[in-house]
Amino acid sequence: MKRTIKEIKQMLGDVKSRQDAFFKECEQDERKGVQQLLKQKLKQFEVEKTLHDQFQQMMRYENELYEKGIECIAGVDEVGRGPLAGPVVAAAVILPKDFYLPGLTDSKKVSEQKRDEFYEIIMHEAVAVGIGVMDASIIDDINIYEATKKAMEQAIEQLSCSPHYLLIDAMKLPAVPIPQLSIIKGDATSISIAASSIIAKVTRDRMMKELGSQYPQYGFEKHMGYGTSQHLEAIERYGVLKQHRKSFAPIKEKLTT
């Protein structure tokens, strides 16, 4: 007696390769429903291979260090340099050597739902995670570039173990006495930096959503502090908050006119 389409669909869920005996058995089944299921499964295999290859490509910096015997590697990244309000947030993440999370990449390329999923996985599986936060007043005092460096330094200090090497997204931290490499677009080319990008992004977004609940008229939960028309209109109508960066135009211009 032949298996039903429903039974086959369920069993194909456990198939990992087209070389699997059950997959080959299904290829001999001429029913259109079964052949359609096989097409879907093949597409799934293609997606999985693409994500696997992408992950391996993004491990090249880490693998080069592993080959040199350096295993405690921290990826470091930040979010929030451009907004008119809220903090700049940095994260430092040390991943285990056998870490595997297909689809992990630059947080800007990942949906909010996926970012939240990845955040939970990284926080659960990482060897250590550190977070640094510099609020608007500090940004105004020392400028956004210096505040970003301080947030990164704080994130590294917050790690529960000291890394042997740092992979940093497009920044250099001369005050940190740890060997390091600055990588342009590192959040899309290093898996450790991508992980820190996710942690920093989700952390800051949650802070901005909380700010949005405190000041609903500003809509922070929608624009995350960036200078959207909605945000600029709210500033014009309701004024400047302490969380606004007063050294940033157009906030600075509004305060001086």
- pLDDT tens, per residue, the chain with 257 residues: 688 889 888 988 888 888 898 898 888 888 899 899 999 989 999 999 999 999 999 999 999 999 999 999 999 999 999 999 999 999 999 999 999 999 999 999 999 999 999 999 999 999 999 999 999 999 999 999 999 999 999 999 999 999 999 999 999 999 999 999 999 999 999 999 999 999 999 999 999 999 999 999 999 999 999 999 999 999 999 999 999 999 999 899 888 75
Q: Long-range contacts of range 210-218, CB-CB < 8 Å, 24 or more positions apart?
A: 211/85, 211/86, 211/243, 215/241, 218/85
Task: Work out the number of other CB atoms within 10 angstroms of the CB of residue 55.
Answer: 18
pLDDT tens for 159-202 read 999 999 999 999 999 999 999 999 999 999 999 999 999 999 99
199-210 CB burial, b ≥16 within 10 A, e <16: bbbbbbbebbee
pTM of the predicted model as reported, rounded to 2 decimal places: 0.91
Measured in degrees and rounded to the nearest 5, phi and psi for residue 133 equal -130, 125
What pLDDT, on the 0 to 100 scale, is given for residue 255?
83
- Domains belonging to the chain, first-starting first, are 5-57 (no CATH), 69-201 (3.30.420.10), 210-256 (no CATH)
8-state DSSP, 170: S
What pLDDT, on the 0 to 100 scale, is given for residue 138?
98
Measured in degrees and rounded to the nearest 5, phi and psi for residue 203 equal -60, -50
8-state DSSP, 21: H
Q: Which spans in the chain are helix H?
A: 5-12, 21-27, 32-57, 60-67, 112-125, 136-142, 144-157, 191-214, 220-223, 229-238, 251-256
